[in-house]
Amino acid sequence: MTSDNGVESGFRSGEFRQTGHDPLSFNQASMQKAWKQCLHSGIILSIFDSLLNWNFGGENKMVSAAKMHTFEDVANHNKIKDCWLIISGKVYDVTPFMDEHPGGGEVLLSATAKDATDDFEDIGHSEDARDMLEKYYIGEIDSTTVPGKRTYIPPQQTPFNPNAKASDFVIKILQFLLPLLILGLAVTLGQYTKTE
């Protein structure tokens, strides 16, 4: 049986002869020609492509290419009945897990529309939780669409003024003394009007 690439016919015709004393050695020119024919015909590329796409996790299925999602697309899935998360550059549809999550669905909702990697790592999830996460995997995030991390900018405060403390002290004293002064004036007027 011959093939289009001529490799099998090369072996049959003796073109790839064994040389030397080692029965497994072929002459170098013959081997180079065979490799070139294999590469040219795409045999090697198809073998490597198959190996790269093979799932070695025990299941005999081919892994499809990961779907790329934009940040805007993922951010729109932020409801109890439709919840997607971004964790370590991967997108997960955790909608079926909302009722089962130990912290409740609200915890998952609070991690939507952002990169939830820090939230996920800060909790210290177990290996079982990390393994469970894989069944909700739906693709990768396009990192060019993810907005940069926002840095916290504290609100501006008025600068410290040492004279402000003195004025605060005077105000507190007046708040205490003014009612006493009014009370004393009222008692004095009451006494004065009774005597007349």
Query: For residue range 24-55, what is the model confidence (pLDDT) as tens digits?
Result: 455 566 666 665 565 555 555 555 555 554 44
Q: What is the pLDDT of residues 67-98, one digit of tens each?
A: 999 999 999 999 999 999 999 999 999 999 99
Q: What is the pLDDT of residue 98?
A: 93
* Domain presence at residue 191: no
Tally the domains of the chain.
2
Shared-domain flag, residues 77 and 103: yes
| Helices and strands (DSSP H and E) totals, the chain | 8, 5
The CA-atom distances, in angstroms, between 157 and each of 47, 102, 153, 161, 168 are 66, 40, 12, 12, 17
195: in domain = no
| Same domain as 75, residue 42 | no
Residue 182 domain-assigned (yes or no): no
83 domain residue, yes or no: yes
Share of the chain above pLDDT 70, in %: 58
Q: pLDDT band at 168, cuts 50/70/90?
A: confident
Contact between residue 114 and residue 78 where contact means Cβ atoms under 8 Å apart? no
- Considering the domain architecture, whether residues 87 and 114 belong to the same structural domain is answered as yes
Q: Residues 85, 109: one domain?
A: yes
| Residue 12's pLDDT band (cuts 50, 70, 90) | very low
CA-only gyration radius of the chain, Å: 39
Same domain, 40 and 94: no
Please state, as a whole number, how many other Cβ atoms lie within 10 Å of the Cβ of residue 17. Answer: 10
Cα atoms in the Cβ-side hemisphere of radius 13 Å centred on 7: 15
Phi-psi region of 118 (alpha: psi -120 to 50; beta: other; left: phi over 0): alpha
Amino acid present at 52: L
Query: Is residue 155 scored above 80 in pLDDT?
Result: no
The model's pLDDT over 117-148, given as tens digits with 9 standing for 90+, comes to 999 999 989 999 999 999 999 999 999 998 88
Whole-prediction pTM: 0.46
* Distance of alpha carbon 105 from alpha carbon 179, whole angstroms: 55
In a domain, 152, yes or no: no
Q: Give the range of the structural domain holding residue 21, as residue numbers without chain letter.
A: 7-53
Same domain, 128 and 81: yes
In a domain, 37, yes or no: yes
Nearest to 112 by CA among 93, 126, 97, 127: 93
Q: Which of 106, 110, 77 is nearest to 92 (CA)?
A: 77
Of 68-72, 112-116, 161-165, least confident by mean pLDDT is 161-165
The whole-angstrom distance between residue 143's C-alpha and the CA centroid of its chain comes to 10
